[in-house]
Structure 1
Amino acid sequence: MDNMPQTPPFTGVFGSNGYNMNLFQTKEEGCGGLYYHDDTLVSGSLDALINHLVPTLDYYPDRTYIFTFLLSSRLFIHPYELMSKVCHLCVEQQRLSDPQADKMRTRKIAPKILQLLTEWTDTFAYDFRDERMMRSLKELTHRLASGDELYRKAVQQMTQALIRKLTVLSQYEEALGKISATAAERLTVLKAKPQAVQRDLLATCSDPFTVAQQLTHIELERLSYIGPEEFVQAFVQKDPLDNDKSCYSDHKKASNLEAYVEWFNRLSYLVATEICMPVKKKHRARVMEFFIDVARECFNIGNFNSLMAIICKWPHVTLCPSSPLLPSPPLCSSSPAGNLLPAARGSETLLSLFVFQIVIPFFSLFIKDIYFFNEGCANRLQSGHVNFKKFWELAKQVSDFMTWKKVECPFEKDRKVLQYLLTAPVFTEDALYVASYESEGPENTMEKDRWKSLRSTLLSRV
């Protein structure tokens, strides 16, 4: 539609600096149930915020507001309830249900409503796995497209794009299930017949750069399927100012976020397993050196999550491109967006290593920062108004993530290496202890007793 506002590529709705929150200023000005400070919305009633989301003939909400409100609103209201309210406001305010309504008026407002729905379905597509959401969407778009071929085509394109996204998500979840099943089967074989599993990662691929590239493929793929709303839904708790009916208690689980965290844990245990498996000390040392090289290549690429997964079980070791092993200073900053990157930016030599401009942050730190920020700031003010000042900042952090996950991996896939990384057998914590003792031998009576106890327990599970 020529007269529909165009949505630019999503590169972070807040720009480079975000909003000036003026946290220590308290003077506010009210406007229709919304309160502003220095032209920035800082609080408002839920109803007023919903009204602020709905376009009119002479108003369309800012993209930063749309993203922030759709992200945070699920703390107070189900997405399907919000969609129902938005649809009701659109129909009633713009008289879309009136067959005698001015067609010119409808033609002016329809592109704006369709744009809002397009931004919702594009950025928060997973909300529409709920049949109630789809039903409301179909009812509203039917009213907009009725009798106008131009709008009908736009609605069809939006709906098809949404269905494609949801179909790809279902296929991804199915693939994850198959990968997990294969890994479980191979672990069963490893427990029953350790000698039958002689192959290791080095036998599959001896090039650290190739392994780092394939790790980056896995990281970026799993990042790409995490919906921004999962960062909020992971921490949803009952709002004491809401009743049971309005509390968002049956929210969709943050399954893609959880799958990404599980991948980090799997990689950590895979590295430890690979190191403990060889019988000869010389071979174990070679495997350790190999993973140090892989970690360094991950650093060079900008894949800090894989880097941390590889070395997280080596508490007294850190890595940098100039030296494989150094005494351990703090490895990452408190900044969720940068992690190791701020140190690299201080040196033109190190900066030149980021050829592909990939930034995959240490995800556990990023999640932790969001969690503590959420816990440290109230969702509502004492007046009962939504503390929108908090949600501008929360959305800024999630917007950074949206930028990271849009990066396409520039490396070619190596199916053999990917399959190994995703499905190779991985020891549990107890099994790693036993394997470690059997490789090096316990050094004292306490370690001997622990080894015997763990070994007996593990054998009884086989």
Structure 2
Amino acid sequence: MNPASSRRTSSPGVVSSNSPLRHQQQHQSSALRTTWRHSAGSADAFSSFLDMDEETDDAASRSRPASSENHAPEKQRIYETTAPSDPGVTFEELIERLIALPMSKQDAKFSAIFLCLYRKFAAPSTLLNALIARFETTEQSDLPQLTRASEQLRLLQVIAQWASEYPGDFAHPKTRQRLVDFVESIEDSHVYMFAAKEISLHLENRVEDDDLGWPFRDGEDGESSEGTGSSHLSPSTSFMHSSFSENVINNISTLDLSDDPTNDPARDSGTISTVSSTGRSVSTMTQASSAMLALENAQREAMSLELTARCVLTKIQWRQFMEIPDDDFARELTRIDWTMFTSFRPRDLVRHVSLSGSEKGSSKTLQNVNRMIQEFNHLACLVANMILLRDKAKHRAKAMEKFMNIALRLRRLNNYNSLGAVMAGINGTPVQRLAQTRELIPLSVQKDFLRLVILMSTQKSHFAYRLAWDNSFGERIPFLPLHRRDLVSAEEGNKTFVGENKDRINWKKFEIMGEVVLAIQRSQRTPYPYIQRNEEVQRLVLDAKMFDEEIENSEPNKNKMTDLPLRARQLYRALLRELPRRHISLPSSSSTTSPLKQRFRTQFERSTTSIHSIQRVEQFVQYAKAQRMYATLLARYNPGMDMDQEERVRLTARRVGMDLPVENRFDAEREKEKGGVFESTEKGEEDDDGGRK
């Protein structure tokens, strides 16, 4: 056996294909992929996050390489018997996988998921100390020169990616100084000087990070930035193999990997050509700087998109809305959503689902997430209020038809967030019950809107939307409520630490959350083409002031009683919405005001001039809403409550594919015939009496 290969197998940075650790990684990734795929197509979308032991044997056999079956049968049997009883992975095993060479698609996504979510189980100083300690261990090992250099360069690449994507993790002075000292110790080496320069450029971006919501932080719970058992690196103590750098440089400088056969004097003389390395470093730095600049610009622009609630909706705003082209309205909504969507990072969304309501409002870094959520709710409320603003059904039908066309444009723009908000307003209870209004909408528009309803339906855990989202390869904005719900389900339904001593990390949980994070990251990296700002649409959407019962009742307002007549009209309309709807088959002559509505109107005109009367009406409106919801839920979960016994038997038979026999009721027919004979006899007698007279 080759000594070099044996040493390479024992490398702490390279995981062998026959090792139990590699089998465990492949088994976990395969089992997770199977569970996540099944969760998208079942009603219990998140019930299988914890119950994945049933697929252990099948997933392990699929993910195990064919070569390992011949060379390591004993290791396979040990793994198959010990894996189910030993859940989770240690922090050291995650570090091994982080710096190892990716061997699959799941390994290629591992670094992005780990760097985004590691704050759930480790502090930045803990991760930095582990990486530096691993760098020292590899440097002092007896591995071949190229193997040792490749492992250390991969480790430095991970640190550079970490510093570029999350510079706020190095906001703590001790953690930052630790990394600066490490970079200074390797920048004199010809092998690591370019990686050290790249990390130094990333460290120039000083960002203050908000640690609110992270269970592990620097400077708390005994976390130390100095590292345990290792001192600061220096050129004289760290690089024990002084000739290693020169040997690698002299060997690499003689290689020619280009297709150009021209002579290069630098190659013949043995000197180094730093053009490619410098260009790669500058290119990487340019991408990181542009991403940081785009984030700052988006945050600055998102601050100008605050909801102001200045103008109460009137017929003037309604006519203004009807005159705006559908494409212009949809494009402006997409521009607003894209600005808010790119103003935060996926890690902010992870923190948002981990905090309580008061903590979300106090965190400055989460204000961009809160702003987008508020804009979603505001748009849904705007759609409902704009439709219900007019009293006549024909005017409501025009507004509803226009919003349906806008929803179709939003789907073509792959703006699923505003699409969900518009559909939430149209399918809400106040608008959905307008049967006469919907009958006035053209059938073609209703069919197109029905396709959107199927797309955004909740059946099979939003299976149709997830399929469309995965196949949207261009610019796209996600349906944020669903992705946030996925994070909440993974966070609350799975433990972070498992095992008897709670010292092992449940990485399956973070892989589930990582799928959501990576989807958001990919969508943020594909911007929309330039969309010109439409000031008219922006002001109409952001400045609209509406009455929403849920917001009014959930957020106490001390000044809501200042305008009693306005409040009385609002409560009167809310009370009318709770009354039983009129049947559409009634003739127009019977469309006069019902006695109940007339009585309500009279009472409002007489006794709504005091705060006490307004409060009593509010309580009555809440009672009417509760009764309507109770009746709705009772009918939904008890479909056979109003059926008679005969109908229940018939439906039960139909369920198993049988039809009840047709019963011939001779008694009823005879009685009917007798009644007919009796009536004809009486009629004949009357005729005879009339003739006699």
TM superposition score normalised by structure 1: 0.66
Which range is displaced more, 272-281 or 298-307?
A: 272-281
Identity over aligned residues, as a percent?
A: 17
**Distance change (3 Å), C-alpha of 1:437 and 1:340:** farther
Per the TM alignment, residue 147 of structure 1 is displaced from its structure 2 partner at its CA by 5.4
Q: 1:19 — aligned with what?
A: 33
1:315 aligns with 2:428: yes
Map residues 36-435 of structure 1 onto 2, 5 A cutoff: 43-50=88-95, 52-54=97-99, 62-78=107-123, 80-90=124-134, 92-94=136-138, 108=150, 110-124=152-166, 127=169, 134-146=176-188, 148=190, 150-151=194-195, 153-155=197-199, 158-159=202-203, 162=288, 165-166=291-292, 168-180=294-306, 183-184=307-308, 187=309, 189-190=310-311, 198-199=316-317, 202=320, 206-236=324-354, 254-275=366-387, 284-313=396-425, 314-315=427-428, 317=432, 323=447, 331-333=456-458, 339-340=464-465, 342=467, 357-383=474-500, 384=502, 385-410=504-529, 412-417=531-536, 419-420=538-539, 423-430=542-549
Map residues 431-442 of structure 1 onto 2, 5 A cutoff: 442=576
Is contact 1:304-1:359 (8 Å) kept?
yes
**Distance change (3 Å), C-alpha of 1:154 and 1:408:** same
**Distance change (3 Å), C-alpha of 1:150 and 1:325:** closer
Cα distance in 1 for residues equivalent to 2:389 and 2:613: 15
Is contact 1:68-1:391 (8 Å) kept?
yes
Is contact 1:266-1:426 (8 Å) kept?
no
Cα distance in 2 for residues equivalent to 1:121 and 1:324: 47
**Distance change (3 Å), C-alpha of 1:421 and 1:123:** farther
Per the TM alignment, residue 211 of structure 1 is displaced from its structure 2 partner at its CA by 1.4
Is contact 1:305-1:360 (8 Å) kept?
yes
Is contact 2:386-2:399 (8 Å) kept?
yes
Give the number of the structure with larger relative contact order, counting CA–CA contacts within 8 Å between residues 6 or more apart.
Answer: 1
> What stretches of structure 2 of length at least 5 have no aligned partner?
1-27, 36-51, 61-71, 204-284, 357-361, 433-437, 553-565, 580-596, 616-693
Aligned amino acid, residue 365 of structure 1: L
Cα distance in 2 for residues equivalent to 1:210 and 1:106: 58
Cα distance in 2 for residues equivalent to 1:129 and 1:204: 51
**Distance change (3 Å), C-alpha of 1:369 and 1:142:** same
Any idea what SS the aligned residue of 2:88 has? strand
CA RMSD in angstroms, aligned pairs only: 5.2
Any idea what SS the aligned residue of 1:302 has? coil
Number of residue pairs aligned between Structure 1 and Structure 2: 404
Is contact 1:68-1:395 (8 Å) kept?
yes
**Distance change (3 Å), C-alpha of 1:136 and 1:175:** farther
Is contact 1:54-1:86 (8 Å) kept?
no
Per the TM alignment, residue 302 of structure 1 is displaced from its structure 2 partner at its CA by 2.7
Per the TM alignment, residue 261 of structure 1 is displaced from its structure 2 partner at its CA by 1.6
Per the TM alignment, residue 418 of structure 1 is displaced from its structure 2 partner at its CA by 5.8
Is contact 2:454-2:464 (8 Å) kept?
no
Cα distance in 2 for residues equivalent to 1:286 and 1:333: 28
Per the TM alignment, residue 290 of structure 1 is displaced from its structure 2 partner at its CA by 1.9
Aligned amino acid, residue 447 of structure 2: S
Is contact 2:328-2:534 (8 Å) kept?
no
Is contact 2:420-2:479 (8 Å) kept?
yes
Is contact 1:338-1:361 (8 Å) kept?
no
Aligned amino acid, residue 270 of structure 1: L
Cα distance in 2 for residues equivalent to 1:334 and 1:129: 45
Aligned amino acid, residue 156 of structure 2: L
Which range is displaced more, 360-369 or 17-26?
A: 17-26
Cα distance in 2 for residues equivalent to 1:344 and 1:52: 29
Is contact 1:337-1:366 (8 Å) kept?
no
Any idea what SS the aligned residue of 2:94 has? helix
Any idea what SS the aligned residue of 2:457 has? coil
Is contact 1:299-1:320 (8 Å) kept?
no
Is contact 2:87-2:506 (8 Å) kept?
yes
Is contact 2:322-2:399 (8 Å) kept?
no
Per the TM alignment, residue 232 of structure 1 is displaced from its structure 2 partner at its CA by 3.0
Cα distance in 1 for residues equivalent to 2:199 and 2:386: 52
Is contact 2:476-2:523 (8 Å) kept?
yes
**Distance change (3 Å), C-alpha of 1:38 and 1:335:** farther
Per the TM alignment, residue 116 of structure 1 is displaced from its structure 2 partner at its CA by 0.4
Q: 2:244 — aligned with what?
A: none
Is contact 2:408-2:449 (8 Å) kept?
no
Is contact 2:382-2:541 (8 Å) kept?
no
**Distance change (3 Å), C-alpha of 1:201 and 1:391:** farther
CA deviations 1:256-279 (Å, max 9, x no partner) are 433322221122233344445568
Per the TM alignment, residue 323 of structure 1 is displaced from its structure 2 partner at its CA by 2.1
Structure 1 or 2: more helix by fraction: 2
Per the TM alignment, residue 293 of structure 1 is displaced from its structure 2 partner at its CA by 1.5
Any idea what SS the aligned residue of 1:323 has? helix
Cα distance in 2 for residues equivalent to 1:36 and 1:251: 46
Aligned amino acid, residue 299 of structure 2: E
Is contact 2:32-2:508 (8 Å) kept?
no
Is contact 1:336-1:361 (8 Å) kept?
no
Q: 1:241 — aligned with what?
A: none
Q: 2:214 — aligned with what?
A: none
**Distance change (3 Å), C-alpha of 1:283 and 1:436:** farther
Q: 1:243 — aligned with what?
A: none
CA deviations 1:135-170 (Å, max 9, x no partner) are 444343333324555345433554555565445444
Cα distance in 2 for residues equivalent to 1:72 and 1:24: 27
Cα distance in 1 for residues equivalent to 2:29 and 2:529: 25
Is contact 1:268-1:310 (8 Å) kept?
yes
Aligned amino acid, residue 415 of structure 1: N
Cα distance in 1 for residues equivalent to 2:348 and 2:339: 16
CA deviations 1:304-356 (Å, max 9, x no partner) are 221221131333659996626669779424567865464899xxxxx9xx8x8
Aligned amino acid, residue 535 of structure 2: K
Is contact 1:72-1:391 (8 Å) kept?
yes
TM superposition score normalised by structure 2: 0.47
